Amino acid sequence: MEVKEKKVGLENEEYIINMGPQHPSTHGVLRLVVALKGEIVQRVEPHLGYIHRGIEKMCENLTYQQIIHLTDRMDYLSAHINNEAVCLTVEKALEIEVPERVKYIRTIMSELTRIQSHQLFWATFGMDLGGLTCFFYGLRDREKVLDIFEESCGGRMIVSYNTPGGLMNDIHPNFQNRVKEFLKYFRGVIHEYDDLLTGNVIFQERSKGMGVMTKEEAIAWGLTGPTGRASGFSCDIRKHYPYSAYDRVTFREILFDEGDVFHRYLARMEEMRESMNIIDQLIDNIPEGPYTAKMKPVIKLPEGEYFQSVETARGELGVYIVSDGNKNPFRVKFRSPNFVNLAPLNLMARGSKIADLVAIGGSLDLIIPDIDR
């Protein structure tokens, strides 16, 4: 048998490595098959499905109240907003008007969720780029928000606080004080975030001009959330299709034109400040009233198709329910922001160094259980 001589000098050949499924910078079980030429990324191919639980299929055997606890486990950092999305869809189908109090509380809770999600983004993004200090500072402040959740909802991350028609229980009497305390505290320390990371020259060198998406590309790929808005795509659902109490508050939609890693990061930093402004406008005006609308114990949606989208911390989450009139949905489909935001990773990372792939992946702020569902 003739043995082929091994070729010497592989400079021009592609080298394929697996990043993940167990890799700290993928924040979960995402497997990226990266084709390299030297240190330059030629191709990135995400392989999904390592944490697929079949949530959409499981929903078909559950009642509408029971679906809520599954949506917590999709994008666990915006658990509250996911719950709200399903509740809003069911309420839209039943044509129920929830009490004003519920709308206000839901909005405040959603914004708190957004703040804690971006805090964790900041913490882990700094860690991805080699600044371990950020992780401790980010988690320190996030703990305060989680305490607010724990006091009112009973859970820290997996809150299950919304239910079709209202809330599981009323806010804790201490809630308003605690939120105000947190806002005062966080306004005092958010400058540390900028001092530690935003102004750092090493961080700026690594993030500016990296993984650029133009506005046209962002629209074509359907990028939403801070990722899309950093490219100049005005896609804030809270602004364009207001739900809950968002039509009663004034806030700025954060838009940038550059669309690189640094501006995706900046968009999230600014959003934290905007979220605090939104909470400021609502926290003193929570109207009195019941914390849930009158609902039947068994919810049956009329036959038809219903859709509602909300703005999670990562982008647009759409909930599409097809009902055949039974107590269980016939089909549920979640349009998750992470799945869509992951898609153009190949486009962004092509031609950059492998270390920059970590920065680009981190700037998308991916939550893998939301991609696989």
Under the rule (CB under 8 A), what is the footprint of another protein? Answer: 62, 65-66, 68-70, 133, 140, 143, 147, 150-155, 158, 160, 163, 168-169, 172, 192, 195-197, 199-202, 297
How far is C-alpha 188 from the geometric centre of its chain's CA atoms? 25
Q: Which is nearer to another protein, 51 or 158 (CB)?
A: 158
Token look-up 């993940």 returns 20
Judged by CB, which is closer to another protein: 9, or 173? 173
The least CB distance from residue 122 to another protein, in Å, is 14
Residue 281 to residues 35, 40, 87, 247, Cα–Cα distance (Å) = 50, 48, 24, 12
- Half-sphere exposure (Cβ direction) of 102: Cα atoms closer than 13 Å: 23
- Within 10 A of 127 (CB to CB), how many other CB atoms are there? 18
Least spacing, CB of residue 274 vs another protein, in Å: 23
Helices 261-283 and 100-128: crossing angle in degrees, nearest 10, is 150
Angle among Cα 55, 57, 62 to the nearest 5 degrees reads: 85
69 or 353, CB closer to another protein? 69
C-beta separation of 59 from 73 below 8 A: no
Nearest to 211 by CA among 19, 35, 363, 14: 363
Chain centroid to CA 283: 23
Q: Give me the least distance between CB of 233 and another protein, in Å please.
A: 30
Task: Write down the least CB distance from residue 99 to another protein, Å.
Answer: 18
Please, which residue, 91 or 316, has the CB nearer to another protein?
A: 91
C-beta of 222 vs 329, nearer to another protein: 329
CB of 146 to another protein, least distance (A): 11
Nearer to another protein, 52 or 140 (CB): 140
Q: Pull the structure tokens for residue 222.
A: 């359907």
Nearer of residues 58 and 343 to another protein, judged by Cβ: 58
Tell the smallest beta-carbon distance from residue 113 to another protein (Å): 18
302-to-32, 97, 202, 233, 328 alpha-carbon distances in Å:
43, 16, 57, 36, 11
Minimum distance of another protein from residue 86's CB (angstroms):
13
Rounded to whole angstroms, the Cα distance separating 288 from 176 reads: 13
